[in-house]
Amino acid sequence: MTQLRTRFAPSPTGYLHIGGLRTALYSYLYAKKNNGKFILRIEDTDQGRYVEGAVEIIYRTLHETGLNYDEGPDVGGDYGPYIQSQRSDEYMKYALQLVESGHAYYCFCSEERLETLPAVNGARRYDKHCLSLSKEEIAERLARGDKFVIRQNMPTTGSTTYHDAVYGDITIDNSELEDQILIKSDGMPTYNFANVIDDHLMGINCVMRGIEYLSSTPKYNLLYDAFGWERPMYIHMPPIMKDAQHKLSKRNGDASYEDLINKGFLKEAIINYIALLGWSPKDDSEKMSFDELLSKFDISGINKSPSIFDPVKLAWLNSLYIKEMTPEAFADYAAPWIEKCYLKNFDKALVCKLTQSRIETFAEIEEKLRFLVEFGEFDSSLYDNQKQKTNADTAREVLPKVRDKFAKVDQWDNEHLYGALIELASELGVKNGKVLWPARIALTGLAATPGGASEIAELLGREETLSRLERSIERLG
């Protein structure tokens, strides 16, 4: 049995978008699941769209997410080069072979003539005008140096059927197929041609890609047939949408992998989430490690319909990964986020301890603790709390005592601070809440905070805590 070989073939046009990453993920998983090889090939036949640095982003993202390819531009392999622009000589040779066998032909038509072609069913279709050119005429125009393209000669009758692993049998009438260009006038192959040649030359026997190629696949198969090559297995995948009508696309500024990382999502969560968009395991697993994905992945679980990218569910998954991080790992990962804002002035370990269970993305750390540097006027009705039986009046009584208790605390940590507050409550013969609630409000001016009164006092430090208490007491009059 021949070894399974899948490939991921992106064009270097910027950040790796989510749909592309998912295609790479599935290709990788399917290959590894079957002891096959996963190959990376860069499709840069359109120099106009080339973006500087895009290739490096692809390498980095794939390595970072664990989608390590067995062969590729930067890791080598027996079927290189793995960058299409470096294989240009190959294509013309194969195109000429097709011209020889009648499966393709030279076309000298000008853009102007093409534009005069009548539109059929809303689309302009090439009329095979140059197919009837005589050998002599072609030779003459070639010798004269006329610009030309090479077109695939499609059959005009009958139909072509192929089997797709997720969509089943797909049949397209040959009359729907246009005589597509194989070699452009600049001598470069089109994607449609290079793709087939390279896949065959690289021994790719399983093609996984987006559904946008579903209806053009018959054209590729006709090419395989013309060369007498064996057709690969096809696995097309539904698109990932932004909403019911629009595809997620980087052109619209939608999230790329890099964007998500920059927004504070963990790569594990991103991979886990996109694996679930359009695929589901046999059991009801949702949170899965990379290894679990590998063992559970199966193409029979791939869906046929488009799925909408839901940032809310991604955030939920992300929070799950955040919670299981060790305090050390969390602190490590949070460091850059803490470093770029006011939080760097506070005890980092405490900041981490207070936020780890309260955030879904790292970007939320800053806003969660903004009150540490913003403390102004606040409505005294915040002291009202039905359950704790507190209000501005009870606060007026309790707060000075809290201040005095805190002033006497010798060891400024949560344990001692909490102990002091509890002690005060018991001395006053009231429920803990009667002291804790107003203390927290007086320190933050917020109805909800990421931590209780003592934890916040610990973070604020002795000086700031006493100062805030003083100010709040004054305001109550």
- Annotated catalytic residues are 250
| DSSP secondary structure string for all residues of 416-427 | HHHHHHHHHHHH
In the complex, minimum distance from the CB of residue 323 to RNA, in angstroms, rounded to a whole number: 6
In the complex, minimum distance from the CB of residue 284 to RNA, in angstroms, rounded to a whole number: 4
Residue 470 binding RNA, by CB under 7 A: no
The answer to whether 218 touches 177, Cβ cutoff 8 Å, is yes
CA dist 467 and 370 (Å) reads 18
Residue 214 binding RNA, by CB under 7 A: yes
In the complex, minimum distance from the CB of residue 434 to RNA, in angstroms, rounded to a whole number: 10
Binding segment for RNA among 136-144, 172-180, 253-261, 389-397 (CB under 7 A)? Answer: 172-180
In the complex, minimum distance from the CB of residue 2 to RNA, in angstroms, rounded to a whole number: 26
Binding segment for RNA among 88-96, 223-231, 297-305, 459-467 (CB under 7 A)? Answer: 297-305
Residue 186 binding RNA, by CB under 7 A: yes
Total residues in contact with RNA, by rule CB under 7 A: 91
Residue 440 binding RNA, by CB under 7 A: yes
Subset of residues 376 to 415 that bind RNA, contact rule: CB under 7 A: 414
Subset of residues 331 to 360 that bind RNA, contact rule: CB under 7 A: 357-358
Residue 247 binding RNA, by CB under 7 A: yes
Q: Which of 56, 63, 101, 147 binds RNA (CB under 7 A)?
A: 147
Please identify, using beta-carbon distances, which residue of 41 and 103 lies nearer to RNA: 41
- CA nearest 14: which of 210, 254, 250? 250
CA dist 335 and 328 (Å) reads 11
3-state secondary structure of 202: coil
For residue 206, the cross-strand partners are 6, 233
Q: Which residues contact 198 (CB under 8 A, 6 or more apart)?
A: 9, 41, 84, 87, 204
| DSSP secondary structure string for all residues of 178-198 | ---EEE-TTSPBPHHHHHHHH
Residue 278 binding RNA, by CB under 7 A: yes
CA dist 318 and 273 (Å) reads 9
Q: Which of 2, 116, 121, 326 binds RNA (CB under 7 A)?
A: 121
- CA nearest 14: which of 189, 364, 259, 199? 259
Subset of residues 29 to 88 that bind RNA, contact rule: CB under 7 A: 43, 45-46, 49
Distances (CA, A) of 328 to 29, 267, 331, 350, 413: 31, 18, 5, 12, 20
Residue 308 binding RNA, by CB under 7 A: yes
Q: Which of 246, 344, 389, 475 binds RNA (CB under 7 A)?
A: 246
Binding segment for RNA among 291-299, 302-310, 343-351, 469-477 (CB under 7 A)? Answer: 302-310
Q: Which long-range contacts (CB under 8 A, 24 or more apart) does 420-425 make?
A: 420/454, 421/453, 421/454, 424/398
Segments in 34-126 forming alpha helices (H): 54-64, 88-101, 111-116
Please identify, using beta-carbon distances, which residue of 228 and 395 lies nearer to RNA: 395
Query: Exposed, middle or buried, 429 (CB in 10 Å: 0-12/13-18/19+)?
Result: exposed
Please identify, using beta-carbon distances, which residue of 75 and 299 lies nearer to RNA: 299
Subset of residues 78 to 117 that bind RNA, contact rule: CB under 7 A: 109-111, 114
Binding segment for RNA among 318-326, 369-377, 396-404, 467-475 (CB under 7 A)? Answer: 318-326
